[in-house]
Every structure is written in structure tokens, then in C-alpha cells.
């Protein structure tokens, strides 16, 4: 191992004052900026919806709630597998890390796959983001706000899956150790945050 690589593989030291290592603090600050991003979208949704109640159909009338409830379940499961991957490498369990990361990737990809299937089915029934082509229950604002919110979340999951594949490749090369696992930890923070956002969005978009 070269000297640079040896330094790189050292456990990150907690910063003075806040007592969290800097990569983790950076991820938390990024996630807080994501809170603002989704708060803006949810705020716009509430205003548009209560100003135009006639544009919204009753929950379950247009959207397929059982399918999405199942998808929510898959995302919750992927959070467990992610946290198990982190718990594994914390104890230096390389095989466990790879196994649980792979499971998280499969569940995350399945979530995106089901969402695409859902979009196709909804579009077939005339539920589209384009106002002039909207033909389902409710009005065009329903379609455009739905696709904006779930679409941005789906993009976050997709990016998360790509980052997980990157993390798995590094894990397969033996990059992470019992002392050096910050990459897995901050990957987990992002992944759980995406799960957390979906918990809120599922309630607001599908159930209310």
C-alpha cells in the first residue's frame, strides 16, 4: 500500500467541538438542504391543493394505493438491509457488508421499477403531467404536482442506487475495514433520508 493510500484508509477523526467527523457532518448539512428542497415542494402542493380542491380526486380513486403501499414496504425493508450492512462492517464482517449492500441495491432498484410500472399504468388511464392531455379524475394540477413530487423522490432513489453500486464495488475491492467505514455510514444516512422523505410523501400524496 502506498503512503497516500495508507493515510486514506485511516479512521476519520472526529472534529473538535461538534465531535463528529467532517464527512458525516457534510452529509448531514446536505440532507438539511434536502429538507428545504422537499419542504418547498410540499408547501407548493398544499397551497395549490387547497386553492383548487375541485382538481383533486379522492385518495385511491386515480392512484393505485395498494401497489404503492407495497412499494413503501419495500423501501422500509431496504432501510433495514442498509443498516445491517453498516452494522456488519462496524464489526469487520466483509461478507455481511457485501450481502446486505447487494440486498439494498436489489430492493432500491425494485422500488424504481415498480414506480415506472405505476407511471405507465397511470399514463394509460390519462393521468399525465401535461395539462392539455390530462384525461383522468380531478384536474391537470393533480397530475403535475403528483409527478413533480414522486418524480423528484424517484430521482433521489435512482441516484441512491447508483451510489450504492459504487459503494458495493469499493466493498468488493476490500476498501472498507473495521476502522474505516465512513463511506458506508454516509451512504446509509442518504439512503435512510430518502426513505424518510417517502414516508412523508406517501402520506401526503396518496392517503390524504
Partner 1 sequence: MAHKKPNYYLVWLYLLILTIAEVAVAFVSGLPFQVLVFILLGLALWKAALVAMYYMHLRFEPPRLVLLVLAPIPLAILFAIVVVTMEVF
The residue behind cell 443498516 is 83
Candidate list 2, 7, 17, 173; residue touching partner 1; CB under 8 A: 17
At residue 59, the 3 state secondary structure works out as coil
Contact status, residue 181 vs residue 100, Cβ threshold 8 Å: no
Q: Determine the interface stretch with partner 1 among 81-89, 131-139, 147-155, 166-174 (rule: CB under 8 A).
A: 81-89
Candidate list 69, 159, 169, 172; residue touching partner 1; CB under 8 A: 69
Candidate list 10, 26, 30, 60; residue touching partner 1; CB under 8 A: 60
Q: How far apart are CA 172 and CA 208, in angstroms?
A: 43
Q: Does 110 bind partner 1 (CB under 8 A)?
A: no
Contact status, residue 119 vs residue 171, Cβ threshold 8 Å: no
Q: Which is nearer to partner 1, 169 or 200 (CB)?
A: 200
Contact status, residue 123 vs residue 143, Cβ threshold 8 Å: no
Q: Which is nearer to partner 1, 128 or 145 (CB)?
A: 145
Residue 79: CB minimum distance to partner 1, A: 5
Is residue 51 classed exposed, middle or buried when 0-12, 13-18 and 19+ CB atoms within 10 A define those classes?
Answer: exposed
Residue 196: CB minimum distance to partner 1, A: 5
- Of residues 177 through 196, those in contact with partner 1 by CB under 8 A are 188-189, 192-193, 195-196
Helix 182-201 vs helix 140-172: crossing angle, to nearest 10:
160
Q: Please count the other Cβ atoms lying within 10 Å of the Cβ belonging to residue 173.
A: 8
Q: How far apart are CA 44 and CA 65, in angstroms?
A: 23
Q: Which residues bind partner 1 (CB under 8 A)?
A: 17-20, 25, 28-29, 32, 35-36, 39, 43, 46-47, 50, 59-60, 65, 69, 72-73, 76-77, 79-80, 82-84, 87, 188-189, 192-193, 195-196, 199-200, 202-204, 207-208
Amino acid at each position: 500500500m502506498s503512503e497516500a493510500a495508507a493515510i486514506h484508509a485511516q479512521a476519520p477523526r472526529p472534529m473538535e467541538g461538534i465531535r463528529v467527523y467532517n464527512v458525516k457532518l457534510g452529509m448531514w448539512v446536505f440532507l438539511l438542504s434536502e429538507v428545504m428542497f422537499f419542504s418547498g415542494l410540499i408547501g407548493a402542493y398544499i397551497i395549490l391543493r387547497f386553492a383548487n380542491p375541485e382538481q383533486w380526486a379522492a385518495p385511491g380513486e386515480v392512484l393505485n394505493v395498494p401497489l404503492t403501499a407495497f412499494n413503501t414496504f419495500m423501501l422500509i425493508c431496504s432501510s433495514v438491509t442498509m443498516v445491517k450492512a453498516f452494522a456488519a462492517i462496524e464489526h469487520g464482517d466483509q461478507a455481511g457488508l457485501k450481502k446486505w449492500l447487494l440486498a439494498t441495491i436489489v430492493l432500491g432498484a425494485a422500488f424504481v421499477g415498480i414506480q415506472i410500472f405505476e407511471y405507465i399504468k397511470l399514463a394509460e388511464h390519462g393521468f399525465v403531467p401535461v395539462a392539455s392531455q390530462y384525461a383522468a379524475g380531478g384536474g391537470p394540477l393533480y397530475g403535475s404536482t403528483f409527478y413533480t413530487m414522486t418524480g423528484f423522490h424517484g430521482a433521489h432513489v435512482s441516484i441512491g442506487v447508483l451510489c450504492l453500486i459504487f459503494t458495493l464495488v469499493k466493498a468488493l475491492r476490500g476498501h472498507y475495514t473495521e476502522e474505516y467505514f465512513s463511506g458506508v455510514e454516509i451512504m446509509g444516512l442518504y439512503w435512510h433520508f430518502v426513505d424518510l422523505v417517502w414516508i412523508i410523501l406517501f402520506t401526503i400524496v396518496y392517503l390524504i
